Chain A
Amino acid sequence: MDAATNMKNSDQATPNWDKDPVLSVEHLTMRFGGLVAVGDLSFNVGRGDITALIGPNGAGKTTVFNCVTGFYKPTEGRIVMRHGPGRQQEDVETLTDSGQRWKATGNGAVYLLERMPDHEISHKAKVARTFQNIRLFGGMTVLENLLVAQHNPLMVASGFSIGGILGLPGFKQAQQEAIDKAVYWLERTHLIDRADDPAADLPYGAQRRLEIARAMCTGPQLLCLDEPAAGLNPRESAELNQLLKYIRDEHNVSVLLIEHDMGVVMEISDHVIVLDYGVKISDGAAEFVKNDPKVIAAYLGVDDEAEIDMPEVREDLAKVAGDEPAGKPSGKAAASGKASSSGKKKTASKARSSSAGASTGRAAAKSAVTKSPATESTAAKAAGTKAAAGKTGGTRSGSSKKTTPKASASAAASIAAKPSGKAVAPKTSTSRAKASKASTGAASSTDKSPARAASTGRKASAKPAAAKAAAKPGAAPAASEVKIANAGDYPGSQPHGTKKPRAGGANNLTRVKGIGPASEKKLNALGVWHFDQVAAWKKAEAQWVGSYLAFPGRIEREEWVKQAKVLARGGETAFSKRVDKGEVATSVAGKRGAQPKKKSAAKGGKA
């Protein structure tokens, strides 16, 4: 179960997609060599819902699609398709343990898509898909395209061709029925007049519709559409909306779609999932997602100068900015408001997988090294809590190597320990033991933890910041003056922050490429006011902040620290020059605060 959505809707009824999911993607990870295209992604697709998967280019949406439809074999994770109502959780677990691909249940069947070859996913699990670049059989007529989609029932009717060659009865009738079905969908998609034309002859919009009609002819329970509205004009988009609603309402087919056209997404979607860099950043009803600041930031790219330079994005941004208090960091009130709202959200997503892709083992080791004995005992306690949480809060078990038992830690704990041990072990019990072992290691040993982290993959480590937060200020070297309630939710360690900027005022952080006004506000809320503070970040801090700002990995990519070092010395980057000239819409022109003069980048802000 996805805790983010669960918590969010805790005051309402459980949403349909958690109550009655037709498809569950659980801890899906897809790696291509060193590139993590999708990292520990979990979501549900509700039966009878239109679910939209959105995100910027390269967010991993199509990779998710390819995993669901069997074109890629996921590196890790479980993908469950359910025929018949309800979660059927026991059946899913039995099936996972059995090593089978699918299993008939009392009220339907459950399928493990990651174990099935692509053609079986369409044939047996009834998942149909379309492609981002249209893939029709161009040299075959429209009608033939739709008959190819009904290949499997027709093969049976033709006695696997033997009866068909001999001209046995039965096939003719089956073919007529197949043609009737094709005609039905041709009428629905307004293609009936072109039935005998080659598919390559159709205009673009008609080809898109034909691909949907062809997918529907396979008789799916879940229809996956990869950018169905791409290249359509507004009228065609509206028709597409009608068609998708019709498919959902009249045929009870659940729809999962990737779409960039927000008009389409917001109008028809019951449920929206937002991905960024292979990680889920928001999940909920369309209204909720629309107003999620993280989505606005990451999806519309508020802080990403490169995206904002596009006029249409700037336009969208202007709309968004209208809803938000714009402009300069207006001191503590706004900043703390931001922090608390963000914090709330993070608390809500307690049991969610850690979003950062990089290993946290290093940070764990580091915090363990620097810990005083007193801290160590606290940490041990934290580990104990964790282990307990692991035992009680396990949401799923199974023998699959790909599954990751997770525990939801209590939200109240300021020791925000999160056992997100990754199960490489076949049995849950083992993996649980491993998780707790890992966290114990993090707390008591200085070298065991990184080794463990390395051997078990990405996440088999405790959250060191937990211990840090619990430790007294001063025990750990650079404890921040600013307390973030759920600091332990993020991998890495919270950077040092001061409650107030130094005399002379804060630096204009927006002169760093990648930091926009919204991020600057958040950074200020963390007590980060000056370039030298940013410049002092180590990997753990950068990771923590990246995760906190919901930009995992971005700080490293955009080299904030490197830029800040230059700016802290009083130097200029190409970007900061542009900012100063007022060429960057998302940054605030002008130097603010005491401009650092040849100041060495010391560790932490020396206020």
Chain B
Amino acid sequence: MAMNGSNKVVAAQQNDPNSFAASIKDAATAAFLVGVLGFFFIGVRTDIAPGGLDLKMRWGAWIVSILVVFAGRLLLNLFVFKTDSPITRKLAGSVPGNGRLSEVGKWFMRALFAFALILPFFFMSFFPGKDRQFIDLAILIMTYIMLGWGLNIVVGLAGLLDLGYVAFYAVGAYSFALLAQYLDIGFWFALPLAGILAACWGIVLGFPVLRLRGDYLAIVTLAFGEIIRVVLLNWYEFTNGPDGISGIPKPTFFGLELKRGEGGFADFFGIAYDPIQRFVFLYYIIFILALITNFVTMRLRRLPIGRAWEALREDEIACRSLGINTRNTKLTAFSIGAMFGGFAGSFFATRQGFISPESFTFLESAIILAIVVLGGLGSQVGVVIASIVMIGGIEMLRNLGFLQQIFGSGFDPVQYRMLIFGLAMVLIMVWKPRGLISTREPSVALKEKKRIGADMVAQGEGH
């Protein structure tokens, strides 16, 4: 008989799962469970009393928790779980979807671009005390955006997982540093050379990994990144080994150094010297470099080579059957990606004024790759957002002094930032497994451009 009864209940629920009665019943079950469990955890409290422990009943807290669970469960049942039109669907709709993203995204991008354009002056006028710190952070973020865009060509477009991207960053940085040290070459002349050298190294890496697929490709690129670092570390006579190279020249503004005194930038234009001028200048250099990276990448995507990269990511065998030389196509992806890494490295060297192999560890590769993956493979805007979130986020977590007021003065939020950051990453990847911007925009359209969902886009090798 009992079985009969339960069967009937099940049947009733199946007949009308949205019914109010079913919701009440479900909520009551949840409340009952809370009542049973909570009796010990909430309802009873032990206090230290003379001669031992004293049990103290907290009926109020127990009943409140039961009611909260009942009400909460009931509301969830009525509006989310047991209804045909859950409100979460409306929420999901408000998150930019395939169609709406283009509109929302476009304005967002424009706003972001406008802000990036005036960023130094924004901070100088609104945060005069902290402007140097903020602009420095913006430069860092911009460097990672550029690196992310460069790696996006290899990983996002061509679908070749590269765990050693930092090697090209190092090649760029050391190219400039060594050229400056040995040949006394300035930043602007060294910049293209660093890019070319990095591109050559991209080809050097590209050749052995051409035949590799999947995990093997990833491991070989990882090894390559480490080889470069170890060579830089151990070739003491040439690279100065772990001591690094210091005194790397600063960039000049059409021959004008940004320095105090005679012949400097400020002197030439007759304005007062301010150390912030150098930061602003550096910011605009990396901003323009990043813009060039983006421009070239976007152009390439619409050119046959870009489509071939994406086709390669989708299906290499089909590419070969269509007459695409996959070897050359992969090598161009590696070398162009490496070239932008080289530019960024060269900039890094001039900004720091000092470089050592310590700056080019595997962790850097991992962060750059995480930016690309978090942003969404192949998405340019995704890389920007992910860079801001990751690089800016880690820095921002340093400023969590207010948490000390909550957790007490012994709490140091800086120590927890990597933990918080890791959790945030996990949450984002659970929420958006294919990255923040997971849709792909077609490179060409006959009538209208419809964004393509991530479930259809292949991820390429090694993912």
B311 at the interface (CB under 8 A from A): yes
B318 at the interface (CB under 8 A from A): yes
Contact B456–A200 (Cβ < 8 Å): yes
B299 at the interface (CB under 8 A from A): yes
Q: Which of the 9-residue segments B127-135, B194-202, B322-330 touches chain A?
A: B322-330
What are the residues of chain A within 8 A of B317 when measuring CB–CB? Answer: 71, 131, 135
Tell me the bound Cα distance from A131 to B324 in angstroms.
16
Tell me the bound Cα distance from A68 to B289 in angstroms.
47
- Contact among B304, B320, B332, B446 with A119 in the assembled complex (CB-CB below 8 Å): B320
What are the residues of chain B within 8 A of A425 when measuring CB–CB? Answer: none
Known: A143-B444, A196-B446, A201-B456. A164 touches B303 (CB 8 A): yes
Contact A122–B323 (Cβ < 8 Å): yes
Contact B449–A148 (Cβ < 8 Å): no
Q: Output the residue of A122, A143, A151 with the most chain B CB within 10 A.
A: A151
Tell me the bound Cα distance from A160 to B318 in angstroms.
21
Contact B444–A158 (Cβ < 8 Å): no
What are the residues of chain B within 8 A of A139 when measuring CB–CB? Answer: 310, 313-314, 440, 452, 456-458
What are the residues of chain A within 8 A of B311 when measuring CB–CB? Answer: 137, 140, 148, 151
A37 at the interface (CB under 8 A from B): no
Contact A151–B449 (Cβ < 8 Å): no
Report the interface size for chain A: residues with CB under 8 A from the other chain: 48
Contact B303–A140 (Cβ < 8 Å): no
Contact B314–A196 (Cβ < 8 Å): no
What are the residues of chain A within 8 A of B320 when measuring CB–CB? Answer: 70-71, 118-119, 122
What's the least CB distance linking B457 to chain A, in Å?
Answer: 3
A317 at the interface (CB under 8 A from B): no
Task: Report how many A-B pairs have Cβ atoms within 8 Å.
Answer: 144
Report the interface size for chain B: residues with CB under 8 A from the other chain: 40
Q: Which of A58-105 contact B (CB under 8 A)?
A: 69-71
Q: Which residue of A lies closest to B318 (CB)?
A: A135
Contact B321–A129 (Cβ < 8 Å): yes
Contact B446–A183 (Cβ < 8 Å): yes
Tell me the bound Cα distance from A189 to B300 in angstroms.
29
B296 at the interface (CB under 8 A from A): yes
Contact A196–B445 (Cβ < 8 Å): yes
- Contact among B303, B318, B321, B440 with A161 in the assembled complex (CB-CB below 8 Å): B303
B305 at the interface (CB under 8 A from A): yes
Known: A139-B458, A147-B307, A183-B446. A128 touches B321 (CB 8 A): yes
What are the residues of chain A within 8 A of B302 when measuring CB–CB? Answer: 164
B215 at the interface (CB under 8 A from A): no
Instruction: Write out, one digit per residue, whether chain B residues 185-196 have a CB within 8 A of any chain A CB (1) or not (0).
Output: 000000000000
B447 at the interface (CB under 8 A from A): yes
Contact B321–A131 (Cβ < 8 Å): yes
Q: Which residue of A lies closest to B326 (CB)?
A: A119
What are the residues of chain A within 8 A of B452 when measuring CB–CB? Answer: 139-141, 198
Contact B458–A69 (Cβ < 8 Å): no
B442 at the interface (CB under 8 A from A): yes
- Contact among B300, B332, B442 with A141 in the assembled complex (CB-CB below 8 Å): B442
- Contact among A135, A149, A154, A175 with B315 in the assembled complex (CB-CB below 8 Å): A135
Known: A131-B318, A152-B323, A201-B456. A158 touches B303 (CB 8 A): yes
Q: Which of A496-511 contact B (CB under 8 A)?
A: none
B352 at the interface (CB under 8 A from A): no
Q: Which residue of A lies closest to B308 (CB)?
A: A151
What's the least CB distance linking B158 to chain A, in Å?
Answer: 13
Instruction: Write out, one digit per residue, whether chain A residues 180-213 have a CB within 8 A of any chain B CB (1) or not (0).
Output: 0001000000000001111011000000000000
Contact A149–B444 (Cβ < 8 Å): no
Q: A139-B456, A140-B307, A141-B444 are in contact. List 9 more A-B contacts (CB 8 A).
A: A70-B320, A118-B320, A123-B325, A137-B314, A140-B310, A144-B310, A195-B445, A201-B456, A218-B322
Give chain A's interface residues, CB within 8 Å of chain B: 69-71, 118-123, 128-129, 131, 135-141, 143-144, 147-152, 154-155, 158, 160-161, 164-165, 167, 171, 175, 179, 183, 195-198, 200-201, 214-215, 218
Give chain B's interface residues, CB within 8 Å of chain A: 296, 299-300, 302-305, 307-308, 310-311, 313-315, 317-326, 332, 440, 442-450, 452-453, 456-458
